[in-house]
Structure 1
């Protein structure tokens, strides 16, 4: 992912009000390892139920404000973005208000995502060798590509508001 500035991040959110953009708590951008992530995701330190995701859509950063849904899962869910079946972390259900008129009318989208947005690290782990001759690096690359596609598809659906 390409490095982003504070101003780029704040202006990228398609489903947040001006006030929400102004008040959002940013991560320490100097500590972000931009080459090792497929999207930027973080939780708000001041509001633990709030999360933020910024993805590159056609070279432009598009941000989505998420809220963690109340309640507990009966069984351990799988992240719908990284599809990792051996998750070392929790997965939670996030809800995003849609952009534009649809969002103002209360329309939302939900998704199951790693609780602290660890998807980029999960897909970069070395997968187990499935069979003799299995191309581990190709499998890792395929997982990274799939993660980017899943995140971008979700962000586009929020952005389109349809």
Structure 2
């Protein structure tokens, strides 16, 4: 992903108001992000942990979506969940159901799309092996790194398709 500015990020949001986009908290490490290793920018709001944001390139433009993370999980520490973007399995709350309000009239009527995502939204780092699941949750896959990256991008685009489809 090419580096993007705060202004570009705030202007990219499609499922929240301009006021909401102007008030969202950016990642604390925004100035030091590893842009070359990111397929999308994802982060949890430092001032509102139940809020998360995702900005991705789509059809030559940036698309940002606001997400709401589910509250805690009743599942135990040893229970594993899989992120639907990077296919990393994690325990101890490393994956959560996140919902995005749909765009257009459907979103105004309260319709949303849910997806299980890494709680830290570090999918790009997981598929590259830069970050690993601390409890050995990574799959031993037979496909190469490039194929894992392409699969994660396709999974992300599929999620965006569902959010953006009226």
Please, what TM-score do these two structures have when normalized by structure 1? 0.86
- Determine the structure 2 residue equivalent to 1:46: 47
Alignment RMSD (CA, Å): 2.2
Q: Distance in 2 between matches of 1:117 and 1:34?
A: 14
Paired residue for 1:112, among 106, 112, 116?
Answer: 116
Please, what TM-score do these two structures have when normalized by structure 2? 0.84
- Cα deviations by residue, 1:45-100 (Å, 9 ceiling, x for unpaired): 00000000011101211000000123415342100000124679700110110011
Q: 5+ unaligned residues in a row in structure 2: which ranges?
A: 131-137
Count of residues in Structure 1 that have an aligned counterpart in Structure 2? 155
Point out which structure has higher relative CO (alpha carbons under 8 A, 6+ apart): 1
Q: Distance in 1 between matches of 2:140 and 2:116?
A: 27
Q: Mean Cα displacement is larger for which, 54-63 or 149-158?
A: 149-158
- Determine the structure 1 residue equivalent to 2:86: 82
Richer in helix (by share): 1
Q: 5+ unaligned residues in a row in structure 1: which ranges?
A: none
- Determine the structure 2 residue equivalent to 1:72: 73
Richer in strand (by share): 2
For residue 6 of structure 1, report the CA deviation from its aligned partner: 1.0
Runs of 4+, deviation exceeding 4 Å: 86-89, 126-130
Residues 32, 88 of structure 1: alpha-carbon distance in 2 compared, 3 angstrom cutoff: farther
Answer yes or no: is the 8 Å Cα contact 1:123–1:143 preserved in 2. Answer: yes
Answer yes or no: is the 8 Å Cα contact 1:98–1:109 preserved in 2. Answer: yes
